[in-house]
Amino acid sequence: MSKWTNEQIIEILKNLSDQLGRKKLSKTDVASVISPSTVTSRFGNVGNALEAAGLERTDCAEHFRNRRPELTPDQLFEALCRLEAHLGHEPTYPECSAKGQYSVTPYRTRFGKWPDVLAHYRKWKAENEHPLSGISAQGMRDGNDASETVVLDDQPAGRIPAPSAGASKTKPAGQFYGEPIEFRGLRHAPINEQGVVFLFGMVSAELGFHIEAVQQGFPDCEGKYLYDAKKNLWAKARIEFEYKASSFNSHCHDPSQCDFIVCWVNDWPECPVQVIELRTEILRLPSRIELRTEILRLPSPR
């Protein structure tokens, strides 16, 4: 638990408000005087702490609106269309992040997870009858936020540039893989949330969970978990999947509406929600499915 008390955090926020001369504080303002994770561990999220201090809360959507001009769906999808013409296939999440005109943030903010972004993108293409052959990978729009803009023909330092005119063309990898783990049928570690969902499905029963529904929207999964093995008591489990536990906070989820975060990497030691780090949990389980000797026997539904 944080070394700061609720009263001390409230006093810090009030003093910051007085120094800045305004009642509305952003998460960046708060981070300048105290770690947001410390505030979250006490109040659930930064907004709740601001309200407790008698200040105005700034939600995540407003934070993004204030940080950069809001892009229209046409602007976002035209940029994806240009990237698709450049790649020769629909952009993946890593490809959009590395090579797209805009980062993945405005897409995720407006449309949700990447499969949902692509679903909206395909619908937009069908409605606009936008032929890929008529879209050039060049001609990026001017006047966009520099932090969001990446011009394909002039890659920033640290990114692999496009092949020169005389260079031999190589087929894009199209897929990246995590570290080799050879866990049952899964050869590589997850590198995204979808991989976490798949791996959790493989071991959820052995970890004491009875899954009832997996859904889009928060929380990702609902079920029950074995609360007391001796008395065979089960409790409700609201589960959110993340690749890294800290993404739960950056996605502005409400900790009071979630019981477990299932992730591959637990990078949030002060998380107010119980975290299940799969890369640690699978070390306690046999790596080959035929070597399993004891598996939790779930009771039949009544």
SS (H, E, C) the chain: CCCCCHHHHHHHHHHHHHHHCCCECCHHHHHCCCCHHHHHHHHCCHHHHHHHCCCECCCHHHHHHHHCCCCCHHHHHHHHHHHHHHHCCCCCHHHHHHHCCCCCHHHHHHHCCHHHHHHHHHHHHHHHCCCHHHCCCCCCCCCCCHHHCCCCCCCCCCCCCCCCCCCCCCCCCCCCCCCEEEECCEEECCCCHHHHHHHHHHHCCCCCEEEEEECCCCCCEEEEEEEECCCCEEEEEEEEECCECCHHHHCCCCHHHCCEEEECECCCCCCCCEEEEHHHHHHHCCCCHHHCCCCCCCCCCC
Instruction: Look at residue 302 in the predicted model and tell me its pLDDT.
Output: 54
Category of 143 on φ-ψ map: left (φ > 0), alpha (ψ -120 to 50) or beta: left
For residue 231, pLDDT beyond 80 = yes
Instruction: Compute the average pLDDT of residues 189-194.
Output: 92
Instruction: Look at residue 301 in the predicted model and tell me its pLDDT.
Output: 59
Instruction: Compute the average pLDDT of residues 286-300.
Output: 59
For residue 199, pLDDT beyond 70 = yes
Q: What is the pLDDT of residues 238-289, one digit of tens each?
A: 999 999 999 998 888 889 999 999 999 999 988 999 999 999 898 888 877 6
Q: How confident is the model at residue 237 (pLDDT cuts 50, 70, 90)?
A: very high
Q: How confident is the model at residue 200 (pLDDT cuts 50, 70, 90)?
A: very high
